[in-house]
A and B are shown apart, each in its own frame.
Chain A
């Protein structure tokens, strides 16, 4: 279990206990958190689960995969700390993780 704080674009925070083994995307979707659409359900096919990872957590969340990189390249508002949340697996090491959602998912 890891406590993950999802921050909506408008600043609303949702602190959720997410089971290890799920992805950061699944933690949001299964708890009905607004701001992560995840149209493809985690197939890395749509780039609608885009989040900004809090700078302090960038090392622990790891590197973008090649497929993720090329999907993100065409998403809106991409920054150095952008990730597709379906590609971040939740582990105990991510307890305390903070991610912020973009204004919209396209």
Chain B
């Protein structure tokens, strides 16, 4: 007999969005063998994006965050092991050693170990009140630390930092964002978008310190009381959130001799290029992206879901999912930002609409092909942008720049 019924024991290391989705999809796709899902956190897989948005503002609870209800795992025959990490992979014996002393053997192994928030290597970084935002526990600590009359310092003006700033204001806290670069979102967005977001946040009462190098956290009676800048100034705060990027948790893979770049190097099936019995998905994977003719690592939910599909399809013998256009989103105040693609090798930036209207899109072009689009409150530009990025069809730039020409007509 062959087929999904006899493809053995699948062990998934990491019970985040990628790992949890892979487990559920394996069952949807008919995998009949045992599934073990190993997670470091004490709770079953949940959605992280709301942690900096709805959850922080008290508009979502633990149940609504959960990917699946807790009873789903036993009912689906998924052996979910909470509060456990893997300590070593033995590829020749096909076993994984776990932190609770157990050894689990696998036929197929999925690495979904994610990424961790980067800590600042500066004095005071371990003071109580210096927080990150990666897990539900982090979000709980942050929620407890902010509110009316409190001041929150956000170190890092990236998307996480800005979402936290918006939620902090919604909860009545004073918020100051400290960014090392001269503009917000410097690594991920174009200057026009940086300017727009800064203005929008300032309108909502957020203060910014740009070009601000943080050199230490100041102790105020056993917990953080301020942030010290390179120019000697101290920015007083009751809590600080550090959002300066994430590092892939690929140490286990490296120790097992799997090829890693920034993350575990995989093929189009999310399979390790070193070991065909091992997959890597989500934030920890360094994956090919054919539309850009290169490999890179992404940190986004759509990427985690796509790679969960790839691995589950490969394991159950389904056809590989069609190539996707990567995308991500961010919600701040009443702004919906939707980003499609990545601005690789671009030759031109084209604005469609007027930022002052609060509804516009920025297209990044390579010649006359769309490489990426950043859409603010502009779903048609986002949706059609995704299609244009994926099908590589040349666009008429004059039409694209003219908001009175519909996106359907632009793509026609």
- The 8 Å CB contact of A74, one of B68, B327, B380, is B380
Given contacts A39-B301, A74-B384, contact A67 B336 (CB under 8 A): yes
A-B contact count (CB 8 A): 58
Q: Which residue of B lies closest to A76 (CB)?
A: B387
> Which residues from B are CB-within-8-Å of A39?
301-302, 305
B69 touches A (CB below 8 Å): yes
> Residue B391 at the A interface, CB < 8 A?
no
CA of A75 to CA of B383 in the docked complex: distance in angstroms?
8
Contacting A32 at CB < 8 Å: which of B72, B302, B379?
A: B72
Q: Which A29-56 residues have a C-beta within 8 angstroms of B? A: 29-32, 34, 37, 39-41, 43-47
- In contact, B380 and A30 (Cβ under 8 angstroms): no
B329:A34 contact, CB within 8 angstroms: no
Main secondary structure of the interface of A (DSSP, over half): loop
Q: Is A70 an interface residue (CB 8 A)?
A: yes
Residue of B nearest to A44 (CB): B336
Contact assessment for A32 and B327 in the assembled complex, using a CB-CB cutoff below 8 Å: no
B47 touches A41 (CB 8 A): yes
**Cα–Cα distance between A70 and B49 once the two chains are bound (Å):** 23
The CB with the most chain B CB atoms within 10 A, among A26, A47, A74, is that of: A74
Interface flag for B226 (CB, 8 Å): no
In-complex Cβ contact of A70 among B66, B68, B69, B379 (8 A): B379
B-side contacts of A40, CB under 8 Å:
49, 301-302, 329
* Nearest CB in chain A: distance from B60 CB, A: 9
Is the Cβ of A74 less than 8 Å from the Cβ of B47?
no
CB distance B76 to A74 under 8 Å?
A: no
Q: Which residue of B lies closest to A70 (CB)?
A: B379
A47 to B336, CA, bound (A): 14
Residues from chain B with Cβ under 8 Å of A41 in the complex: 47, 49-50, 301
Query: Contact mask A1-38 → B, CB, 8 Å, 1/0?
Result: 00000000000000000000010001001111010010
Whole-angstrom distance between the alpha carbons of A75 and B384 in the complex? 9
B301 touches A70 (CB 8 A): no
In the bound complex, residues from chain A placing their C-beta under 8 Å from that of B47 are 41
Answer yes or no: B24 CB below 8 A from chain A CBs. yes
Contact across chains for A45 and B329 when beta carbons are under 8 A apart? yes
Say yes or no: is B99 at the interface (Cβ < 8 Å to chain A). Answer: no
* CA A22 to CA B49, docked complex, whole Å: 18
- Tell me if B179 counts as interface (CB < 8 A to partner A): no
Cα–Cα distance between A50 and B49 once the two chains are bound (Å) = 21
A76 to chain B, nearest CB (A): 10
| A30 and B28 contact, CB distance less than 8 A | no
A92 at the interface (CB under 8 A from B): no
A79 at the B interface (CB under 8 A): no
B338 at the interface (CB under 8 A from A): yes
Q: Per-residue 0/1 for A65-88: is the Cβ within 8 Å of any B Cβ (1 yes, 0 no)?
A: 001001101110000000000000
CB pair A37–B380 under 8 Å, yes or no, is no
Nearest residue, chain A, Cβ from B387: A74
B379 touches A74 (CB 8 A): yes
Give A44 to B145 CA distance when docked, in angstroms: 30
Give the complex CA separation of A29 and B47 in angstroms.
12
Residue from A32, A67, A73 in contact with B27 in the complex, judged by beta carbons closer than 8 Å: A32
CB pair A32 B24 closer than 8 Å: yes
CB of B301 within 8 A of CB of A45, answer no
When the two chains form their complex, are residues A43 and B68 in contact, meaning their CB atoms are under 8 A apart?
Answer: no
| Among candidates B24, B28, B69, B331, residue contacting A43 with C-beta atoms closer than 8 Å | B331
Interfacial residues of chain B within 328-353, with CB under 8 A of chain A in the complex: 329, 331, 336, 338
Cβ < 8 Å to A, chain B residues 67-124: 67-69, 72, 76
Q: How far is the CA of A67 from the CA of B27 in the complex (A)?
A: 33
Identity of the chain B residue whose Cβ is nearest the Cβ of A33 in the assembled complex: B28
Contacting residue for B338 out of A22, A30, A45, A73, CB 8 A: A45
Contacts A30-B72, A32-B27, A45-B329 given: A73-B302 contact, CB under 8 Å?
A: no
Interface check B64, CB cutoff 8 A = yes
Q: What is the distance, in angstroms, from B160's C-beta to the closest C-beta of chain A?
A: 16
| A71:B383 contact, CB within 8 angstroms | yes
Q: Once the chains bind, are B68 and A46 in contact (CB under 8 Å)?
A: no
Contact of A71 among B68, B331, B379, B407 (CB under 8 A): B379
The one of A32, A45, A74, A75 in contact with B336, judged by C-beta atoms closer than 8 angstroms, is A45
> In the complex, A64→B68 CA distance in Å?
27
Q: How distant is the Cα of A45 from the Cα of B327 in the complex, in angstroms?
A: 10
What's the Cα separation between A29 and B21 when bound, in Å?
A: 10
> 13 A-B Cβ contacts within 8 A?
A30-B67, A30-B68, A32-B72, A40-B49, A40-B302, A40-B329, A41-B301, A43-B49, A44-B336, A45-B338, A71-B379, A73-B380, A74-B387
Across the A-B interface, the 7 shortest Cβ-Cβ residue pairs: A74-B383, A45-B329, A70-B379, A41-B47, A71-B379, A34-B28, A39-B302
